Amino acid sequence: MPNMPEKDPGLWAAVLTWVLAHQPQLYAAGLSVAIAVLRVVYGGGTRRQMFLEGALCGLITLALVPLLEWLGLPQGMATFAGGMVGFMGVEKLRSYSDLFLSRKAQG
């Protein structure tokens, strides 16, 4: 029988190393997803809304983490950013970004 990847200890060591190296980003994205899902449940949303809002908030958080690093903020701010993204939600973030971009376009 060929060597199965799930039985290769080197693979699991590499996966664990990657998870530990990216722990702040993964924690922030997970927190964002959890808060977004709970916010949709609290608001009486559907399962589809829960899934989509959670996924979008998690992905937005992952996209924001490099910005925090670029701004010179500590890694711990990723958790705060994830919590705020999940709390505000996709529609609120979109309205803020539209406002920001329209002001930048005007001068």
Which is more confidently placed, 94 or 9? Answer: 94
- C-alpha to C-alpha distances, 5 to 9, 10, 15, 32, nearest whole angstrom: 9, 9, 12, 31
Q: Place 7 in a pLDDT band, splitting at 50, 70 and 90.
A: confident
In 3-state terms the chain splits into helix, strand, coil percentages (rounded to 5) of 85, 0, 15
What DSSP state is assigned to residue 6? G
Q: Position of tokens 């908030």?
A: 57
Looking at the predicted structure, is the pLDDT value of residue 6 above 80? no
How many domains would you assign to the chain?
A: 1
40 is written with which tokens? 């949709």
pLDDT at 5: 61
pLDDT score for 32 = 97
pLDDT of 12 reads 86
Q: Tell me if 2 is assigned to some domain.
A: no
Per the structure, the complete domain to which residue 63 belongs is given by: 24-106
Query: Is the pLDDT score of 38 beyond 60?
Result: yes
Tokens standing for residue 14:
């590499």
Average pLDDT of span 60-75: 93
Share of the chain above pLDDT 90, in %: 73
Query: What's the Rg (C-alpha) of the chain?
Result: 18
Q: Is residue 37 part of a domain?
A: yes
Residue 56 lies in a domain: yes
Share of the chain above pLDDT 70, in %: 93
